[in-house]
Amino acid sequence: MTPFFGTSGTNMAALVHPQTAGEITNAFVLRKKYKIDPAFAQKVDAQYGPFDWRLPETHAIYWGAMGLDAANKNPDKVKPNDVMTLRRIIYQSMLQSFHHGRYIANPFTQDYSLGPNLDLVPQVNDAYLQMYAEETDPAQRDDILKAHRNFLKDAVYFLYGNNRVAEAAKWYKMLGEKYPDKPILDNDPNSFPRNFTLDEYSVARVQEEVGDTSEERTTAVVQGLLSQSYLNIAIGQDDRAAGFKLLAGKVYQHYVSKTVGHGNEARVPLPPFDVLNRSALNDLLDTQKPVLPYAARAIIRTQLGMTAETNAPAATISTNTTPSAISSTNTLETATNKAVPAALP
């Protein structure tokens, strides 16, 4: 689909109103070979999107919407459950697009990954509420509410981890208002929204996924989040980089709060946050055993305001411009650094 929708997967104008010979040919081939009407695709994108039209979930939504359009034009040919089936195709594919509907290219490896399409959160939420309103089967309605609750939990977590904290707070409030007596963590029956702040919930989600709060595992998680932050700087994903950095600090702070002053002084303390941060950065910028290609290292250095790469060993790399979020006493500071976005997955 890239030749038709471009390298961003969002180019509609050249298909709906082609100007050049190449654009006219593209629009013709899209209609005749792939049976996709650019004008209808633009309508679908406006109603349910925005989508990346290089990805399969988008096309499932397109054909579900096309089916609904046909059903509305031919009501005498529609079976009782046809319309609901078509709507479910759309809603379920929207949820999949939310989870992995963002194409993230890595120019250094010619590889790519898929991340959440966070711009779809309001539309997916509306889709669940509409589906619930239209369903008449009580059992199905309960299933829709359960799915909606799980969606809101993920939406909050993903938004927070991509440094869209204000939006995360908005949906966390809705989660608490709509499902006040439903736990938000799988292994904690008392994890009601009223018992957790947004920060606490996001950190708990990370810990839920990594399994425990041991010193070794927490150190690995924090360094992993920091590494992801710098890697996302290299490929221009600044919001994700900020989210990873933020969450790394929150996970660190949570460990410290649970192990200092609570009778746990005997537990092994984490290294200072700036030490973990420096270690993660040095590993990525190492020129002796390169983890990243030169171009990626150069971008990271530029974005952090560091000097250009030299032949010095990685251990001598200065990180004075890197935020020192945790002091040597393992106390979270409030200082931030605008050059280094802050944490999540």
Write out the residue range of the structural domain in which residue 307 sits.
212-316
Domain edge (last residue) among 209, 240, 255: 209
Residue 7 within a domain = no
Q: Are residues 285 and 198 part of one domain?
A: no
Q: Are residues 229 and 178 part of one domain?
A: no
Residue 15 within a domain = no
Q: Are residues 195 and 158 part of one domain?
A: yes
Amino acid at 47: Q
Residue 114 within a domain = no
- H-helix or E-strand containing 221? helix 215-234
Q: Are residues 271 and 250 part of one domain?
A: yes
Residue 180 within a domain = yes
Domain edge (last residue) among 175, 192, 209: 209
Residue 181 within a domain = yes
Q: Are residues 239 and 162 part of one domain?
A: no
Q: What is the DSSP-derived secondary structure letter of residue 275?
A: H
pLDDT of residue 180: 96
pLDDT of residue 95: 93
pLDDT of residue 268: 65
Q: Are residues 298 and 220 part of one domain?
A: yes
The set of residues, in sequence order, having a beta carbon less than 8 Å from that of 327 and lying 6+ positions away, is: 272, 273, 274, 333
pLDDT of residue 41: 97
Residue 22 within a domain = no
Per residue of the chain (345 residues), give pLDDT as tens.
999 999 889 999 999 999 999 999 999 999 999 999 999 999 999 999 999 999 999 999 999 999 999 999 999 999 878 888 898 899 899 999 998 898 877 777 777 778 789 899 999 999 899 888 988 888 888 999 999 999 999 999 888 877 788 999 999 999 999 999 999 998 889 999 999 999 889 888 887 766 555 676 678 778 878 988 998 999 998 888 998 898 888 888 888 887 765 555 555 677 888 888 888 898 889 888 788 888 999 999 999 999 988 764 444 444 433 333 333 233 233 223 333 333 333
Q: Are residues 181 and 228 part of one domain?
A: no
For 12-55, where are the alpha helices, taking DSSP H only?
A: 13-16, 21-32, 38-48
Q: Are residues 232 and 204 part of one domain?
A: no
Residue 185 within a domain = yes
Evaluate if pTM is beyond 0.75: no
Q: Are residues 269 and 187 part of one domain?
A: no
Q: What is the DSSP-derived secondary structure letter of residue 98?
A: H
Q: Are residues 233 and 197 part of one domain?
A: no
Q: 36 vs 4, 198, 264, CA distance in Å?
A: 11, 42, 62
Helix, strand, coil % in the chain, rounded to nearest 5: 60, 5, 35
Residue 330 within a domain = no
pLDDT of residue 263: 54
Q: Are residues 299 and 312 part of one domain?
A: yes
Q: Are residues 291 and 227 part of one domain?
A: yes
Residue 87 to residue 70: CA distance in whole angstroms? 13
pLDDT of residue 167: 92
Residue 284 to residue 62: CA distance in whole angstroms? 42
Domain edge (last residue) among 152, 181, 209: 209
Q: How many domains does the chain have?
A: 2
pLDDT of residue 260: 65
For 101-214, where are the alpha helices, taking DSSP H only?
A: 121-134, 138-161, 165-178, 198-210
